[in-house]
Amino acid sequence: MIGSGAASTKWARPNNRPLGTIRKNYRKYWNEEEECISPDVQRGMEQEKLARQLEYVYANAPFYRSKFDQVGLKPGSIRHVEDLSRLPFTTKAELRESQEQTPPFGDYLAAPKNDVSIVHRTSGSTGRFIFTVMTKNDLRQTNEIGARSCWSAGIRPHNIVVHCLNYQLWMGGYTDHSNLEAVGAAVIPYGVGSSKQLVRIIEEARATGISSTPSYPNVLEHVVRDELGIEPYDLGIKVGIFYGEPGLEDPNFRAHVEETWGMRASSAYGLADSMSNLAAVCDDVYELHFLGQGALIAQIIDPTTGDDLPIEEGNVGELVLTNIDREAQGLIRYRTRDMVQIRGTGPCKCGRTGFRFRISGRSDDMLIVKGINVFPSGVAEVLNKLVPDVTGEFQIVLDRPGPYEVLDIDVEFGRGLEQSELEGLRRRVEKTLRDELVFTARVRLVPPGTVPRTDMGKAPRIVKTYDD
C-alpha cells in the first residue's frame, strides 16, 4: 500500500546515511490559501470560474460552440459542477481531428493566434502529434500550479536541480523546467542522452536534486558506478521529483531508488493537454495530492459507461479534467484515460485539502484476461517485489486484439543469474503473477537490457505485433 512501505531490507544504505530531508527554515506551502482551501470556498470559486470559462469558449472556440449546440445547451445552463455531466466529453482523437481540419492549433483555440506565447507538441506515440499552446497568462498559471507540486515534492530554493526530460517540444522539458525555476531552484537544463556526461555534470556542479522519469535513476546508477567508480549516494543528490510514468507508488521500487541514491524520491503527475504538473506527494503521506485548485475541476467516471462517480475514498475511475481559467486551449470534460484510485478526501496530515489519489493504469491500456482487468502498472508492482532476481523491466507482447486467455510477457532476469536458475525463476514469476493478479501469464525470460528503453529510461509496456 502507498504510504505504508518502509524501506525494504533487500537494499541496505551503507553507513546508515539519512535520506535527503526538507530544510525546516522554509514555509510549509507554496500557496497555503489555495492548497488548504475549504471545500465550501473551493466550490464557490470553481462555480464562478467555470461559468466564465464556459462563456468564453462558447464565444471564441467553434469546437465547443458545436458541442454545446449538439446537446441543445447554452453556457448558462451549466450552473454547478455537477451539471458538467450534461456536456459531451472531449477526447484526444477529437483534438487531433480538430487540428487536422483547422491547422495548426485546431478550432478549440479560443485566444487570438497573436496571443500564443509558447508551442509544445505531444510525442505522437498514440497517433499524429498534437500541438499544445499557451498564452503568457496560461504559462503563468501553469507555473503557479507546477510550483505547488514542486514545493510539495520537496524542491526548495537552495536546490540545484538537473532536469533530465526531453526539451524537444515536449511539455515536460521547457515548461516543467520553468516550474522548477518558479520555486527558486537553480536548474541545469540537461535534457536526455549522454548519461556519462550527465553524471560528470552532477558531480562537478554539485547538484542536489534531479527531475526525470522514475526509471531514469536506474539507468544512471550503473553509469555512476562504471564511469566514476563510486556509489550513486556519494553524488549528494538529496531530492528527486519524478513524472511521466508510474513506478514510485510501489514501495519496493521506491525503496530501491531512495536507498541507492540516498535521496527523497517524490512522485508528481500531470499531462500536457490540461496542466503539465497538477499533483504531487507530500512529506507526510506518499499519495498524490490534487493541487490544481483554481485552475482545474477534476472528476472521475466509469470508463465504460461514462457515468460520473463521486470522488470518495476507495472509488476507482478515469480522471476527467476541465480547465476553468485558460485562455488558449481550455478543455472541457477532457478524458485523460488515466485510471485513478481515490485514496482520501478532506485534509491530509500535511494540511492540504485536495483529494489524494494514485494512478492505477490507463483505461486504454487495460487488458481483459478471462474477465480480469489487468494493467501494466500492476504487473510492474508485482515484478518489483522479485528484484534483484528480475530487473523489473518487462514488455507485454500482444499478437491479436483481446480479450485474452493468457498474456505473453517478456521479463528481464537479474544480473548475475546462472542459466541453471532461469527455469525455476520463470515458473516463480508466472506463479506470482497468477497468485497476486489472478491471471495467467506465459513468461519468457530475456537478458538484462533487452527490453527497449527511451533516452529517459522509459520502457513501453505493451507492444503489438499485429495491425490495428
Domain count, the chain: 2
Shared domain check, 409 and 352: no
20 within domain boundaries: no
47 by Cβ neighbours in 10 Å (0-12 / 13-18 / 19+) ranks as middle
CATH, residue 459: 3.30.300.30
**Cα torsion at 219, 224, 229, 232 (round to 10°)?**
-100
Judge whether 195 and 223 are in contact, CB under 8 Å: yes
Per-residue pLDDT of the chain (468 residues), as tens digits, is 233 333 333 333 344 455 555 666 789 999 999 999 999 999 999 999 999 999 999 999 999 999 999 999 999 999 889 999 999 999 999 999 999 999 999 999 999 999 999 999 976 555 578 999 999 999 999 999 999 999 999 999 999 999 999 898 889 999 999 999 999 999 999 998 889 999 999 999 999 999 999 989 988 998 999 888 999 999 999 999 999 887 898 898 899 999 999 999 999 999 989 999 999 999 999 999 999 999 999 999 999 899 999 999 999 999 999 999 999 999 999 999 999 999 999 999 999 999 999 998 887 777 888 878 888 888 988 998 899 999 999 999 999 888 899 999 999 999 889 999 999 999 999 999 999 998 999 999 999 989 987 766 677 889 988 876
For 140, the 3-state DSSP assignment is helix
pTM of the model: 0.82
Q: Are residues 116 and 169 in the same domain?
A: yes
Are 359 and 386 contained in the same domain?
no
Q: Looking at the domain assignment, is residue 6 inside a domain? A: no
Strands 462-464 and 390-398: parallel
Q: Are residues 426 and 359 in the same domain?
A: no
168, 120 contact by CB (below 8 A): no
Residue 371 and residue 421 share a domain: yes
- Domain annotation covers residue 209: yes
My answer on whether 371 and 353 are in the same domain is no
Based on the fold, state whether residues 405 and 452 are members of the same structural domain.
Answer: yes
In a domain, 252, yes or no: yes
Question: HSE of 32 in the Cβ direction (CA atoms, 13 Å)?
Answer: 6
Residues 358 and 421 in one domain: no
CATH, residue 156: 3.40.50.12780
- 84 and 222 belong to one structural domain: yes
C-alpha cell at 90: 472531449
Distance from C-alpha of 409 to C-alpha of 119, rounded to nearest angstrom = 38
Q: Give the separation between CA 253 and CA 234, rounded to whole angstroms.
A: 20
Full residue range of the structural domain in which residue 104 is found? 25-297+322-330+342-363
Tell whether 398 and 412 lie within a shared domain. yes
Alpha helices in 26-161 (DSSP H): 32-35, 39-60, 62-70, 92-101, 136-153
Local structure of 288: helix, strand or coil: strand
Strands (DSSP E) contained in 399-461 are: 407-413, 441-446
DSSP per residue, 386-410:
TTTTEEEEEEEEESS-S-BS-EEEE
| Residues 27/158, Cβ–Cβ less than 8 Å | no
